Structure 1
């Protein structure tokens, strides 16, 4: 599985254990790994594109983004199991003709929940959450306000309509961070104390709320990671 990492504090988090325990071999690329993003998905059975502080079209700041958008387009076209997380979801939407903007409702930061719709029923990755509310870690200022043509909306929140979507049978974008637990939230809070202050948020309180939910977050989202690995393995077989 190819994993695109944009920055050091936005890695696979709790997904790492579930994926490796499922027998998936991970190849991590991007600036933090000092390995270039490849031009194609040849030789790969799955793709995960992680989050980052840049926007999906900040190509001058992050010159590997055009190649990453191309990989996401290829993952959808080739029906390779593909998952975009936060920035990864925004890159997917942008690559496929959607649109990303600053969230007019303001940032979502810390522990929140998303509502999965009945349309999620039968979804290979999120079907068990159909018509239910699920806790998530959020940390985003942007949102995909227009999904790609033909995308299926799976989950929303009060502050962001397009929280999870599927494009075709094997590609998903999620605006939230299923890979994140309190250690990741602590790292992000430490990196952006001024931003939290501007939102009238106290870093310790934000992290403490996530830490209290760590057991449920870990159980919920490690299961999703395991299901994604199963899709990759099944498609390979």
Structure 2
């Protein structure tokens, strides 16, 4: 039997799958990463077994600056309609919410940067990816835009003080997260230092905190990645 194939939409030069891609490959998935920001063409039809949409500094309908977003939304719709597993990160999670009928706003509330504690809700206890995680887990955040209303019928899985909708599920097979499970602490050193300072953050402090949190957070997000891979393989089989 061939390995399940996953279509990965990359929206920015530095926004690659990083360690998430390594984890999913180790768990038996074949990833086709499309560098959409660089002019690579997305397919019109989702023939892959699953879809991952990564982060990027755009709104889900920012079609003028990111001309590939209409196709990305169409592929997300197909994943929902055809019951293909989908995982959306940051922009990808916002795009999932948007496609499914939720609301996303630019500059919504206070920005979140660095390693942030997430509080898992009771609904996460029965979720295929988030079950049995600790009630509070850390993850790297890097955003000012946010989901402000979940789609009707979506399952709300995790929150933070500044941004309530940190993780959610649409149906049984599509997950959106505001945080970056693919990002290790080193990613913070690539962020714009002046922009962080203007928001009231010190990049070195953020890096040191994320580095301290990384052993535990890496373990938890590795479990989530494995469970997503298992979900894809079950649907493929």
Taking structure 1 as the reference length, the TM-score comes to 0.93
1:14 alignment partner, SS class: helix
For residues 59 and 32 of structure 1, the distance between their equivalents in structure 2, rounded to whole angstroms, comes to: 12
Deviation of 1:33 after TM superposition, in Å, equals: 6.0
Structure 1 residues 34, 226: CA separation in 2 closer, same or farther (over 3 Å shift)? farther
Give the SS at the match of 1:120: helix
- 1:83 is the counterpart of 2:87: yes
Contact kept in structure 2, 1:30 and 1:64, CA below 8 Å: no
**Residues in 2 aligned to 1:99 and 1:124: alpha-carbon distance in whole angstroms:** 25
How far did residue 87 of structure 1 move? 0.3
Could you tell me how far 1:85 is from its partner in structure 2?
0.4
TM-fit CA distance, 1:214: 1.9
Tell me if structure 2 keeps the 8 A contact 1:108–1:141: yes
Q: d(CA) in 2 for partners of 1:119 and 1:142?
A: 24
Any conservation in 1 of the 2:108–2:144 contact (CA below 8 Å)? no
Give the superposed CA RMSD: 1.4
Contact in 2 for aligned 1:89/1:175 (Cα 8 Å): yes
Matches within 5 A, 1:17-166: 17-31=22-36, 34-42=39-47, 44-129=48-133, 132-166=135-169
State whether residues 37 and 66 of structure 2, in contact with CA within 8 Å, keep that contact through their aligned partners in structure 1: no
> Can you give the 5+ residue segments of structure 1 that lack an aligned partner in the other structure?
none
Residue 203 of structure 1 pairs with residue 206 of structure 2: no
Q: Counterpart of 1:194 in 2: which secondary structure? A: helix
Equivalent residue number for residue 236 of structure 1: 236
Which stretches in structure 2 are left out of the alignment for 5+ residues? 1-5
- 1:141-191 Cα distance to aligned partner (Å, 9 max, x none): 01110111111111111101111100001000001111111122221x2xx
Provide the secondary structure at the position in 2 that maps to 1:129. Answer: coil
SS in 2 for 1:2: strand
